[in-house]
Structure 1
Amino acid sequence: MSGTELEWSRGDRAKAAAKLMVGWVALLWLLEVVDVATGHALDDFGIIPRVPAELVDIVPAAFLHFGFAHVAANSVPLLVLGFLAALGGLRRFAAVCALVIVADGLGVWLISPAHSNTAGASGLIFGLFGFLMVSGFVERQPLGVLVGLLVGAVWGGAILAGLAPTQTGVSWQGHLIGLVSGVAAAFVFRSRAGTAPVLTR
């Protein structure tokens, strides 16, 4: 592959990652508009712990929020962290997100306080943070390590604050499980030892 093809491939991957995350965040806002327009009917798709029928809401809950302030708070970190994670390949990104969303949702269902209702993209955000923080070290890639350090410097304080169990109305359980799931995803979906990710169109 020539240098020109390599640069074009990187640019194409960045464009795809950007389009994906802009579309993802736009979907969250659209769903919140629908939720408000229907008298918050979508809030019923949050996760209520240890109710068997609520298991079907594990995936939808990651896309729903309780008000515009809630979705606004999650939009920028999801956009940036998702973009950075998606640069490593859209297939791997989809697998990482699937693992984090399902594991986080199951964890919330198992250990969150009874009668609570949990929804939002924050569990995924914490998962992407954990994934980016360790994947560079796991794969021994200097650029990935640098990205992880920068992500930690920018969002590390907010992540630690989100893990505090003293906050009212915040699912620290979902945040913690999301973070652990993201770290696990870095090991599960790491590139093969000794090889760099293949840049493809």
Structure 2
Amino acid sequence: MSLVKKIFTRERKEQSRPAFAEAFFSDESRTDHPFSLAMHTYKQLQETANSQEEVFLFMIEDVIFSSLYATFYEQLLFTARENPHLALPLIANFEQDQAERERMISEQTENHLNFILAGGRCEGCSSCDNHADVSELLPFVEQGHFDFFKNLYIGMQAIQFAMEELIYDLTPDHMQWLEDYTPEKVLEFRQMIIDYAEKKNAC
């Protein structure tokens, strides 16, 4: 599934939120809420970048990075659901493997970014088979659609902070949630966060 379609899955039935998703919407005013952290990250980017063009390019890169990273979070949740007796060791190992995981994701991100900035052309790299996953970003890059990437950047940052909170802080104390970590419910959770971020940004 392409990055854009995976993030913006609009056609879905309204249904009750699983408990793990409800946690995202509780106490939204706290300073360490995932959306608050995402907004803080965006403001820091604006303050430290030398130009809006630099902000734009960084957001493109980070959207790709965060989307790739999210697949690792998802796989961890799915594996923990299938092996509940191993959930805590899986989380511990996931945390220990962070440096190697980020190195691999950074390499893939660079390859995809080069593909995007070259207008969808690639002379050959280790990520060629997956360039189609990001190709739908091309029109938005070519149009210089700043607001699109701003919303997507903040949304993906919120997803990353929410996933980290869910995995490291909440799941160990709520092992009963494991049965809800299905592909459908986790994707729905991601979409809820994207929708939430869009509404907040529109205010």
Q: Same fold (TM over 0.5)?
A: no
TM-score normalised over the length of structure 2:
0.30
**Relative contact order (alpha carbons < 8 A, sep ≥ 6): 1 or 2 greater?**
2
TM-score normalised over the length of structure 1:
0.30
The structure with the largest helix share of the pair is 2
